[in-house]
Chains A and B, each alone.
Chain A
Amino acid sequence: MKRGEGSTKRVFHYLRAINAENIKEWKIELTYKPDFIRQFIEPFVYLFPYLLYGYALLGGRYSEHLKDMTGIGDMVAYTFIGYLFIGFLNTACWAMGFSLRKEQWYGTLETIFVAPVPRWVYVAGMALHSTCHQGLIMLIQAVVITTFFAIVLKMGGLFPALALVLLMLLGLYGLGIIVAGLTIALKQWWVVSEALSTLIVVVTPIAYPLAVLPIVLRKASMFLPTTYGIMGVRHFMLGEQLAVSLPTIFLRLAIIMVVWLTFGMATFLIMDRYGRKKGSLSVY
């Protein structure tokens, strides 16, 4: 009997499984058409309170104070770029974290868990699906908002911005896989997702620059991939002044990515083992 797959064959097997998970989720999602449409409309609706609040405080869309702090005077452009990243945060905290529980609700969790792929593959498949999904929503948002508000983006900065987003996403995946691991052990797992996503939204420069945060929160934000992702993308696409150099941003983001991914995988593997010891997945 042949013992096991070769490592190259194994990698291709896992990649294929990840893609199959992605395709399966698209197919299931498309059977719920009203909900699918809702997901494309809702992000526009949620953006407006941010903008209206800004308009009310500034008396218009331009702010000299914001320009002094960030180099960008246009509140709408500033807020909209930051707001786009909430979609990626949802990928980590909800889509990835929710992935195993979703299978449990379908009734298929144990069925897929006896397939010869590691369990993180399903979380990775959901990450791929959600990234594609959120990417599509963000693209539509970006086209509509920039057209509607006549925002001029620096298209020359697109590729370096995308490189930063890629690093940031990998870091967020580390966070997502931690949440996915915790769902194995915790019955009320959504408390973790809710708390994490809320905390990250507060300390991430989505609608305001980091300079307005209390020093403790500002320090905390330095450990989050979204902080560098948003700052870097604003810099490349709108010309935001950076408090640190670009190479520093890339370097810190790369370190954060490695740390979160490593910590995430370790947490997931420990929790998976814990779940198989305790039988916790069958309990809920």
Chain B
Amino acid sequence: MIDNGAITVEGIYKVFKKGRSDEVRAVDGISFDIKKGELFGLLGPNGAGKTTLIKCISTLLIPDSGAVRVAGYDIYREPLEVRRHIGVLTGGERSLYWKLNPVENLRYFAALYGVPRKHVGDRIDYLLELMGLTEKAGARVEKLSSGMKQKLSIARVLVHDPPILLVDEPTLGLDPYFARFIRDFVKNELNRKQGKTILLTTHYMDEADELCGRIAFMNRGRIEAMDTPVRLKRSMPQKQVLEIKCQGAIEKEIFDRVPDAAGINITHSDGFVYVRINTDNPEMILSSMIELIQQKTKIFSVRVTAPTLEDVFVDLTGASLRNGK
């Protein structure tokens, strides 16, 4: 049994067959360790293999090869013990029984997890209060808002007080208020106060940057880099990012001939297009960039910023966190 390691992943592979000849390498030889009490993030675009990896660790899927130990238990030989020590929280709203109320849901899961009967009532009261759901204890889940459902999902995950949490895209589809609540709760209550080990997957770079002590960049089933957010950002060869906010369709290829532009990332948000270029010399490329973009569309603003995790990801993989291309 490993004393310090909460989760140990050694060279795991998971390949899905698509038809007779095609295959998708969802997890392609990944290894990492997560220490007890650590909040570790897996950051990558949709389809990077994050959820497949979480499913392998939580025994929902059997890897093709490699070794995984959770709380010292082997996922192949001791899957029930692995499951007893983890709580798995997924994004989306359908992990609860909508026709039951919060208390009925939690009672059911308490029975599945073998929480002693004499403690179930107190545990449920505590969790509902912790999540601010006491007043909704008797309301059917279908009547709760998306944010409240996600809060109840967290209560469900905590019903057996697991030492390790696997949190898969926890703020997906939530409004900013509830997303903020979930982030604060994961960091301050679960990780700092309760000391739980957390493996968090997300494709939101701000979420990973804010919450995680260490981050692994995942793309096409592989880990491209792994370190603290600060070190990852420092590791960028280009120390500045030129960001141009514009509108309309822009193709990445038009910037191919711009010198000193190492990584270019084009994202869409709030009706605007953001072109971000990793560079050491923003002043040198500024005029040629503006000229190229103005041939296609209107520019709203230009600024120079420090690299974000997304910029590091683009620099490493050439892919965007938002669309994986």
Contact assessment for A31 and B114 in the assembled complex, using a CB-CB cutoff below 8 Å: no
Instruction: Encode contact with A along B89-112: 1 for CB under 8 Å, 0 otherwise.
Output: 010111111111000100111011
Contact assessment for B1 and A1 in the assembled complex, using a CB-CB cutoff below 8 Å: yes
Contact assessment for B83 and A114 in the assembled complex, using a CB-CB cutoff below 8 Å: yes
Knowing A112-B112, A115-B112, say if A276 contacts B80 (CB, 8 Å).
no
Q: Name the one of A4, A24, A117, A279 contacting B16, with C-beta atoms under 8 angstroms.
A: A279
Query: Which residues of chain A come closer than 8 Å to B140, judged between CB atoms?
Result: 31
The total of interchain contacts (Cβ-Cβ below 8 angstroms) comes to 91
Q: Name the one of A21, A27, A114 contacting B58, with C-beta atoms under 8 angstroms.
A: A114
Interface residues of A in 209-235 (CB under 8 A from B): none
Query: Which residues of chain A come closer than 8 Å to B228, judged between CB atoms?
Result: none
Contact assessment for A111 and B88 in the assembled complex, using a CB-CB cutoff below 8 Å: yes
Does A19 count as interface, using CB distance less than 8 angstroms? yes
Q: What is the minimal beta-carbon distance from B154 to any residue of chain A, in angstroms?
A: 13
Query: Which residues of chain B come closer than 8 Å to A1, judged between CB atoms?
Result: 1, 71-72
Does A13 count as interface, using CB distance less than 8 angstroms? yes
Contact assessment for A27 and B61 in the assembled complex, using a CB-CB cutoff below 8 Å: no
Contact assessment for A24 and B100 in the assembled complex, using a CB-CB cutoff below 8 Å: yes
Does A38 count as interface, using CB distance less than 8 angstroms? no
> How many residues in B have their beta carbons less than 8 Å from beta carbons of A?
39
Contact assessment for A19 and B62 in the assembled complex, using a CB-CB cutoff below 8 Å: no
Q: How large is the interface on A (under 10, 10 to 19, 20 to 34, 35 or more residues)?
A: 20 to 34
A72-80, A102-110, A170-178, A189-197: which lies at the interface? A102-110
Inter-chain CA distance A112–B108, complex, in Å, is 10
Inter-chain CA distance A202–B47, complex, in Å, is 49
Inter-chain CA distance A108–B83, complex, in Å, is 16
Does B181 count as interface, using CB distance less than 8 angstroms? no
Knowing A27-B104, A115-B83, A116-B81, say if A20 contacts B111 (CB, 8 Å).
yes
Interface residues of B in 62-86 (CB under 8 A from A): 62, 71-72, 78, 80-81, 83-84, 86
Q: What is the minimal beta-carbon distance from B22 to any residue of chain A, in angstroms?
A: 15
7 contacts between A and B (CB under 8 A): A5-B114, A110-B90, A113-B60, A116-B112, A117-B112, A273-B62, A282-B55
Closest 4 CB pairs of A and B: A107-B94, A20-B111, A115-B112, A116-B84
Interface residues of B (CB under 8 A from A): 1, 16-17, 52, 55, 58-62, 71-72, 78, 80-81, 83-84, 86, 88, 90, 92-100, 104, 107-109, 111-114, 140, 156
